[in-house]
Amino acid sequence: QVQLVESGGGLVQAGGSLRLSCAASGRTFSSYVMGWFRQAPGKERQFVGGISGSGGLTYYGDSVKGRFTISRDNAKNAVYLQMNSLKPEDTAVYYCAANGRNSYFSDWDYDYWGQGTQDTVSS
Report the number of secondary-structure helices (H) and strands (E) in the chain: 0, 11
Spatial distance between the Cα atoms of 48 and 44, rounded to a whole number of angstroms: 12
The three-class DSSP label of residue 19 is strand
Please report the pLDDT score of residue 109 as a whole number. Answer: 95
Query: What residues contact residue 70 under an 8 Å CB cut-off, 6+ apart?
Result: 34, 36, 48, 49, 50, 51, 58, 60, 79, 80, 81, 82
Comparing C-alpha atoms, which of 38, 44, 30, 9 is closest to residue 98?
30
Spatial distance between the Cα atoms of 120 and 98, rounded to a whole number of angstroms: 24
Averaged confidence pLDDT in the chain: 96
Please report the pLDDT score of residue 26 as a whole number. Answer: 80
Please report the pLDDT score of residue 27 as a whole number. Answer: 78
Question: Which residues face 112 on adjacent strands?
Answer: 98
pLDDT tens-digit profile of 43-81? 999 999 999 999 999 999 999 999 999 999 999 999 999
Please report the pLDDT score of residue 1 as a whole number. Answer: 84
pLDDT exceeding 70 applies to what percent of the chain? Answer: 100
